[in-house]
Amino acid sequence: MTPPALSQDSRTRLIDSAILHFAAKGFDGTGIREIAKSANTNSAMVAYHFCGKEGLYSEALKALFSRKVSPVSQLASLPAPGAPGARQAALQGLQDYIRAFLTELMTCDGQDPVDEAAMILMAREMQAPRPASSALLIEHLRPYVTHLTSCLQVLRPDLKEDQLFAMGVSIQGLMIHFRNSLGILRLLRGNPAYPEDLANVIQHHIDFSLRGLGVPEAFPSPRN
């Protein structure tokens, strides 16, 4: 079926090594010799397999993305906007989304170095996309945006499309910024183990997001 071996060997070893090194020291801060050495091969293989350093970087990003589609694809799709249980489903879907996304963001903190590198690379790329791979990035992001927007649409049918988009950006931003600024937050708190408890973090983000979105269910005492 699939072209089985065909020297996928040194190629994937190079990609894995590249992910780690690029994440740790950036594109310009990393030499191809360094990458090749960690991959137990020669720097010439970078040109052989990827047509140079830039090609290796793109390929590394692509490999990263193809391993990281989990949180959205696992979530159940929503019933039609008009259906009876739609609102409740959307509410639950949004909470699941936040939990899944945040869990994925955080569980790779310090445990699996490749997962951790993936987040760093993705964050860097989101903030300053390397032109050669920006198309790759937005293609990878689109399903997230779609899923999130479809939830919000059900929960706030009164909002226009611009406003829904802004809501989605904000909810997404809460989580991404939290993850990105973990280093600074720990410095600011003087506590290297800052988040302490992931469950609290998730609950905070769900509460803040739902209230921020303006769904009545999230208000502290709607009937008093």
Partner DNA sequence: AGTCGCATTAATCACTCGATTGATTTATTC
Partner DNA sequence: GAATAAATCAATCGAGTGATTAATGCGACT
Judge whether 60 and 46 are in contact, CB under 8 Å.
no
The amino acid present at 148, given as its one-letter code, is L
- Choice between 44 and 135, CB closer to DNA: 44
Binders in 30-49 for DNA, by CB under 7 A: 30-34, 40-48
Helix (H, G, I), strand (E, B) or coil at 221: coil
- Choice between 25 and 33, CB closer to its own copies: 25
Regarding 103 and contact with DNA (CB under 7 A), the answer is: no
CB under 5 to 8 A by kind: which of DNA, its own copies, none does 144 bind? none
**154, HSE (Cβ side, Cα atoms, 13 Å):** 23
- Choice between 4 and 220, CB closer to its own copies: 220
Q: Which of 11, 99, 140, 205 binds DNA (CB under 7 A)?
A: 11
Compute the distance between CA of residue 28 and CA of residue 10 in angstroms, rounded to an integer. Answer: 22
Compute the distance between CA of residue 29 and CA of residue 114 in angstroms, rounded to an integer. Answer: 18
CA 169 to chain centre: 13
Smallest distance, Å, CB 198 to DNA?
Answer: 37
CB under 5 to 8 A by kind: which of DNA, its own copies, none does 128 bind? its own copies
**Which of 57, 83, 217 lies closest to 150 in space, CA to CA?**
83
- Choice between 13 and 62, CB closer to its own copies: 62
Q: List contacts with DNA (CB under 7 A).
A: 5-7, 9-11, 30-34, 40-48, 52-54
